[in-house]
């Protein structure tokens, strides 16, 4: 019982930064802290980033670069799989860590978060379609890992 309680408490504590930052009450959080919370591999990190993306005015004081070319020269919706927002978050991570001069230290995590985002898109499918989506996600991930 103690272990279950400790695991629940630890999971709750780990979720707090993303939850805290998605509320728009980030006055005590530094830009690197906010950026880190929005570029993790978890769904809660993605959701916090997307909430902030939809309310960019609340984050204006941080001067984030929200620009994106989505999936660059690759299709945003390959075979009908909507990778557009996954690509946008990937661009967000790349552009902002480059601007802060800490890109190389964070690239692998940003690429991993991208892959997790793509797989979450694929989880909305089943059977052979899900398999095709996961294969496409793997290809996109390999491309950014090597060429990004």
By C-alpha distance, which of 92, 83, 108 is closest to 45?
A: 92
Which helix (H) or strand (E) segment holds residue 3: the answer is helix 2-22
Token pair listed for 5: 């309680």
| Cα distance between residue 12 and residue 83, in whole Å | 29
Catalytic one among 38, 90, 94, 113?
90
Structure tokens, 20: 């805290």
User: What gap in Å lies between CA 104 and CA 67, rounded to an integer?
Assistant: 20
Query: Which residues, other chains included, contact 133 with Cβ-Cβ below 8 Å and sequence gap of 6+?
Result: 79, 81, 121, 122, 125
Catalytic site includes residue 90: yes
Place of tokens 């790349």: 94
- Tell me which residues are annotated as active site: 90
């Amino acid at each position: 019982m103690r272990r279950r309680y400790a695991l629940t408490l630890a999971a709750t504590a780990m979720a707090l930064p993303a939850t805290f930052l998605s509320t728009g009450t980030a006055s005590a959080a530094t830009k690197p802290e906010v950026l880190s919370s929005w570029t993790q591999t978890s769904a809660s990190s993605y959701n916090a980033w997307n909430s902030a993306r939809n309310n960019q005015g609340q984050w204006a004081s941080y001067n984030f670069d929200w620009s994106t070319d989505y999936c660059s020269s690759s299709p945003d919706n390959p075979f009908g799989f909507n990778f557009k927002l996954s690509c946008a978050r990937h661009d967000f991570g790349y552009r902002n860590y480059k601007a802060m001069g800490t890109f190389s230290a964070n690239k692998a995590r940003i690429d991993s978060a991208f892959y997790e985002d793509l797989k979450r898109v694929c989880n909305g499918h089943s059977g052979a379609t899900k398999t095709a989506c996961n294969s496409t996600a793997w290809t996109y991930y390999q491309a950014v890992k090597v060429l990004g």
